[in-house]
Amino acid sequence: MVFTLVFGLLLLAALPRGPAQQTATGTSISGAQTGPLAFDSDGLFRISIFEDLHFGENAWEAWGPRQDVYSVRVMEQILDAEPQTSLVVLNGDLITGENTFLENSTEYMDQIAKPMLDRGLTWASTYGNHDSDYNISASLLLEREQRWLNSRTSQMVHSDTAGVTNYYLPVYLEPCDDSDCTPALLLWFFDSRGGFQFQQRDGVTGERVGRPGWVDSTVVDWFKQTNQDLVSKAGRPVPALAFTHIPTSASLALQAKGLDPRLQPGINDDVPVAQQGDLPYPGKVGYEECEQDIPFLEALAATPGFMALFSAHNHGNTWCYKWDNDLLPDFPVKGNGINLCFGQHSGYGGYGRWIRGARQVVVSREKLEDLAIDTYIRLESGAAVGSVTLNATYGQDVYPATPNDQTRLPPD
């Protein structure tokens, strides 16, 4: 009873403020500037990526809400260790939707938002396969998120099959409110969908109706046209990063090729990678069996300036791999050097006991000229591991191997 009361008070404290409590200048009451994103005065743009938080598991048992309390604590610890974060990214599976009830499924967003609101930080989300289920709607989750000015999560593709979180955010070298300003960096967010349709069951079997688990072709078309327009306006390719919850089959193929813990440092416990598409990667041949993400990969590989794609979904993988043209000669798409990266399981919900953390990405004005970025993982322990520079020689440079530490939910 005491724990239930404490949990209720925590949830109440996180409830979103209505529009009447937001200023007319576009600044939230917690102080986060919601104008265009920009590099800071040191010439840096810092991203903190939380993924697979999995709030809302087994709310009817004591351990479920306890997980959520500790997941909030992880977010607080990491954000306090990274006080200059420019943008927080929530890269899917915010909520374990199959465990939620219709009347409260999106309310878990209030707990997730609180660490950012308390620190005046702005954030952007992709949604994962567990964020769409019979009792949770990704569209309603977006509606809940957008009650805060701090949230930059958006929907720019409105086809019936696209999913929800498909959008981009421009980042400028200096604060700029002029529509004629040219971005120095583009952040792309893609909805890899998956999960189940909201409030739909099969008329014959009564089972939940599934959603395809890859980036939809309408989104690929939107991305190619939108990027072309942005490049035309800028007069040059614009450096870019992207986020999608479920990784592509290229990550799976690179994993099958083999990882060196000193060249691609990180945990590699989820083998094989669970990737976009209906069927698992079958081995050395048979890429056509997971071909649903091929149009998406072709679009990324054909886009100059793309530096990295960050995915989640596989809680036991935390590595980055450079997808070069010559690494996968039998793969149907030729890589252009884009780095395919995983983050770190951030929440106490979801499977696995790997130590919780969040991948950090540091983009500097200086290194951006060479399409290079720095990245590492900040752990709940405070340690930073897996620090690498994703540059032209990544995959050849030698780094310390990443320790594979474990944590458990502390006892009562």
Give one DSSP letter per residue of 169-235, joined into a string: EEEESS----TTPPPSEEEEEE----SEEEEEE-TTT-PEEE---S--HHHHHHHHHHHHHHHHHHT
Q: For residue 397, which of 372, 380, 379 has the smallest C-alpha distance?
A: 372
The answer, yes or no, to whether residue 281 has pLDDT greater than 60, is no
Q: In the 3-class helix/strand/coil scheme, how is 68-126 assigned residue by residue? A: HHHHHHHHHHHHHHCCCCCEEEEECCCECHHHCCCCCHHHHHHHHHHHHHHCCCCEEEE
The answer, yes or no, to whether residue 18 has pLDDT greater than 60, is no
Say which residues have a Cβ less than 8 Å from residue 71's Cβ, sequence separation at least 6: 53, 54, 55, 346, 347, 348, 349, 356
Sign of CA dihedral 316, 299, 137, 212: negative
The answer, yes or no, to whether residue 79 has pLDDT greater than 80, is yes
The answer, yes or no, to whether residue 93 has pLDDT greater than 80, is yes
pTM of the model: 0.91
Which stretch of 114-128, 147-161, 274-288, 354-368 has the lowest confidence by average pLDDT? 274-288
- pLDDT single digits (tens) 54-63: 999 999 999 9
The answer, yes or no, to whether residue 9 has pLDDT greater than 70, is no
Instruction: Please compute the mean of the pLDDT values over residues 137-147 and round it to a whole number.
Output: 97
Query: Hey, what are 395's tokens?
Result: 């995959």
User: Domain spans of the chain?
Assistant: 43-390
**CATH class belonging to 43-390:** alpha beta
